[in-house]
Structure 1
Amino acid sequence: MITVQNLTKRYGDHVAVDDVSFTCRPGQVTGFLGPNGAGKSTTMRIIAGLTPATSGVAHLYGVDYRTIPNPATQVGVLLDASAQHAGRTGAEILRLAAMTMGINRDRVDEMLEMVSLTPEEAGRRVRNYSLGMRQRLGIAAALLGDPKVLILDEPANGLDPAGIHWMRTLLRDYADRGGTVLLSSHLLHEIEIIADDIVVIGNGRIVAQGTKAELLAGAGSRVHSLDDEALLRALTAAQIIARPHASGGLDVDAEPVEVGRAAAAVGVVLTELRPADGAQLEAMFLQLTSDTQREQPTLEGALR
């Protein structure tokens, strides 16, 4: 379990993390979302004992990371896949880590096989690894000590679709066996698939948190009809926000039952009506972090 309470980190006059509190539960994957510079990485570094907090606490099963004996056997951490000794081979990095932790070297071969690094790749120097291979090596290092907690910052960077599917399966299995996972990612669709709980941060403050079902409830609908223009007029008259979707149909900021009621009132035949699926998390994220986004769309930019 990870418990963060009233965590604050200041760098001079800049407040990077501002009174942040949340909990990551055993057996659950917690997705940690926020725009660039929102405070995600700083929060994770504080939890992992790499950055001291200005105030507040971050505990792993009730204790500070820095007080845990042989911490890598309790907490697996991957914050930067590129922060590995470029002159060593992947196998050497894992063997040195195993020696430091005092665990059997057979575990190294198990982890290399688990993350699908071949013997030839494991014998290659890390400077010659792709980013995806470095991510796999970093995940192997994080899991080497068979920890109860995983803290992963953007672990899907550099992975191809098959690699992302592999990672998703790996983390789901880990959580299902009782492990605690804190996962930061900019791939919102992947978070929507794998996360049980979601924490959203913006400008250093928590702007939303809860179970995925709670946060995505009421996130909108996708609808197709025989007359989308008439349906759009009916929804607008009912003070329901709707907009055309690029692939046809409408995205609607209302529950399906409300959309169906508006369509029935004007006799429009619906051919599809469902929750917004993959668009839900993106819509929620953009709405909650609209004041903290670097890229703000403008009419001038849209017309170019």
Structure 2
Amino acid sequence: MITVENLTKRYGDHVAVNDVSFVCKPGLVTGFLGPNGAGKSTTMRIMVGLTPPTSGSVRIGDRPYREIPNPATQVGVLLDASAQHAGRTGAEILRLTAMTLGVPSSRVDEMFDLVSLTPDEANRRVRNYSLGMRQRLGIANALIGDPHILILDEPANGLDPAGIHWMRSLLRDYANRGGTVLLSSHLLHEIEIIADEILVVGQGRIVAEGTKEELLAGSGTRVRSLDDDALARALSVAGIAAQPVAEGGFTADAAPEDIGRIALRQQIPLVELRVGDGAQLEEMFLQLTQQTQRESVPTFRDATVLQGAQS
């Protein structure tokens, strides 16, 4: 278990982490979401003793990370896949980690098998690795001590779709066996698929937390019928706001059972009726963090601006 209590980190007048508290439980994957500069990485660095907090505390199990004997056998950490010695081979890096932790050398080959790096790739210099290969090596390094807690910052960065699916399966199995996983990512869809609980942070504060079901409970319903025009009229008469969806149907601000009753009364055959997800997670994320976003939707008042950009 990871317990964060009233954690604050200041750099002069800038507050990077502002009175943050949460718990990551065994057997669950906790997704840590937030825009760039929201405080995710700083929080993770404090967790593993790389950055001292201004105030507050983090306990890994029942003690701070720095007080854990041989901590990598208890906590696997991946904060930056690129921060590996580029002149060493992947095999050399894992062998050094195994020696440092005092684990059997056989764990090295086991880890390469686990993360699907071939013997040829294991013997390449890390400078010749793709970012996806570095991520796999970093995950192997985090797991080699057989820890019961994982703290991973953007582990899917650089992985192709097959690699993301592999990582998702790996972490799901790890949690199912009782492990604790804290996973930071900007890939909202991946968090929606894998995470059991979600933390959303903005400007150093937790702005939302809970299970996916709790956070998406107000995200409405996805509904599609054989007569969307009739369905739109019926929803409007019932006072239910509905937004058309490009592939057909609507996202409606009502519970699925309420929409189902309306369709039944109007004898409108439905082909899809479910709680909204995916796009709704992105919408929820943007709404909760809108005050912390750097980006705004660009507008062009003069068409000549676009013409100049295209020429």
TM-score w.r.t. length of structure 2: 0.91
Match of 1:211 in 2: 211
Instruction: Tell me how far apart the structure 2 counterparts of residues 182 and 300 of structure 1 sit (CA, whole Å).
Output: 41
Are 1:79 and 1:153, in contact at CA under 8 Å, matched by a contact in 2? yes
Match of 1:98 in 2: 98
Q: When the two structures are aligned, how many residues end up with a matched partner?
A: 303
Q: Which moved more, 1:133-142 or 1:44-53?
A: 44-53
Identity %: 74
Shift of 1:141: 0.1
SS at match of 1:124: coil
Instruction: Tell me how far apart the structure 2 counterparts of residues 235 and 14 of structure 1 sit (CA, whole Å).
Output: 48
Are 1:156 and 1:185, in contact at CA under 8 Å, matched by a contact in 2? yes
Pair 1:248–1:186, CA change in 2 (3 A): same
Shift of 1:62: 1.7
Report the RMSD for the aligned CA atoms in angstroms.
Answer: 2.0
SS at match of 1:218: helix
SS at match of 1:87: coil
Match of 2:309 in 1: none
Given residue 180 of structure 1, which amino acid in structure 2 is its aligned partner? T
Q: Which moved more, 1:251-260 or 1:106-115?
A: 251-260
Instruction: Tell me how far apart the structure 2 counterparts of residues 98 and 120 of structure 1 sit (CA, whole Å).
Output: 20
Structure 2 gaps of 5+ residues are 307-311
Matches within 5 A, 1:27-42: 27-42=27-42
Match of 1:222 in 2: 222
Given residue 241 of structure 1, which amino acid in structure 2 is its aligned partner? A
Shift of 1:300: 5.2
Instruction: Tell me how far apart the structure 2 counterparts of residues 68 and 161 of structure 1 sit (CA, whole Å).
Output: 36
Structure 1 gaps of 5+ residues are none
Q: Which moved more, 1:59-68 or 1:222-231?
A: 222-231
Spell out, residue by residue over 1:34-67, the C-alpha distance to the aligned partner (whole angstroms, 9 max, x if none). 1111111111111111111111001100211111
Match of 1:110 in 2: 110
Shift of 1:263: 4.5
Pair 1:294–1:131, CA change in 2 (3 A): same
Given residue 53 of structure 2, which amino acid in structure 1 is its aligned partner? A
SS at match of 1:150: strand
Shift of 1:191: 1.1
Spell out, residue by residue over 1:217-267, the C-alpha distance to the aligned partner (whole angstroms, 9 max, x if none). 232111223443454354345443321112122122322223334556666
Match of 2:4 in 1: 4
Match of 1:167 in 2: 167
Match of 1:74 in 2: 74
Are 1:232 and 1:243, in contact at CA under 8 Å, matched by a contact in 2? no
Pair 1:233–1:35, CA change in 2 (3 A): farther
SS at match of 2:292: coil
